[in-house]
Amino acid sequence: FLPLLFLLNCVFIGYAIAILESLISCYSFRRPYEIEELSGLAKLVPYVTVIWLCVVIGDLGYRGQIGAALKGDFYSGFFLTEFLLVAIGSLLLFAKKLRRSPRWLFVSATLIVLGGALYRFNVYLIGFNPGKGWRYFPSFAEVMITVGIVALEILGYKVFVALFPVLPNTAGHGPAPDVKAEERVAQAQLSTQP
């Protein structure tokens, strides 16, 4: 079932990353959130994740490993964490009200991406057994190289967006709402009422 699990994982992480990228981009560049588009995309994610979660459970049952998954040791802890991150993130997206909130879209997409990434780490790194008496964990240098690559990708994105017309023109859309200012106004109105 591993190829199917990786394929489904790739699909729901791709959708969740697209949601995260859009939200972070809109926030960083002070652009209006594309809630209609993101809400429609977010509507698909929980169904793909439910299929993935069912295949995971089916795979565990088929191989007789459900007991090992619930054992409470180091490996099952990571498995349960990945499983719960994906499950909770996708449950949030079933609610239409939450799908229309940039904040909840961000939270749910983050949970799904973290859970999906942890699944991949579990398969090839955390759960990897190179043989009796051997253990592998990335060195500090390997971790820092990975962090550097991610930072370089973010820098590259910011440079390309600043230099080229990557993001759609928002003429006629008005400025992105200042959430903090709206909250301050609402608080001021509440405090002035007798």
Instruction: Examine residue 175 and state whether it is found in any structural domain, yes or no.
Output: no
User: In terms of DSSP H, where are the helices of 35-101?
Assistant: 35-62, 66-69, 74-93, 96-99
Q: What is the pLDDT of residue 127?
A: 74
Instruction: Examine residue 75 and state whether it is found in any structural domain, yes or no.
Output: yes
Instruction: Examine residue 14 and state whether it is found in any structural domain, yes or no.
Output: yes
Per-residue pLDDT tens for 75-133? 889 999 999 999 999 999 999 999 999 999 999 999 999 999 999 888 877 777 767 77
Quote the domain boundaries for residue 74. Answer: 2-133
Q: How many domains does the chain have?
A: 1
Instruction: Examine residue 17 and state whether it is found in any structural domain, yes or no.
Output: yes
* b/e per residue 164-176 (b: at least 16 CB within 10 A): eeeeeeeeeeeee
pTM: 0.75
Instruction: Examine residue 170 and state whether it is found in any structural domain, yes or no.
Output: no
Q: What is the pLDDT of residue 122?
A: 84
Instruction: Examine residue 172 and state whether it is found in any structural domain, yes or no.
Output: no
Instruction: Examine residue 31 and state whether it is found in any structural domain, yes or no.
Output: yes
With a cut of 80, say whether residue 172 has pLDDT above it: no
What percentage of residues in the chain have a pLDDT greater than 70? 85
Instruction: Examine residue 21 and state whether it is found in any structural domain, yes or no.
Output: yes
Distance in angstroms (rounded) separating the CA atoms of residues 9 and 2:
10
Higher pLDDT, 187 or 173: 187
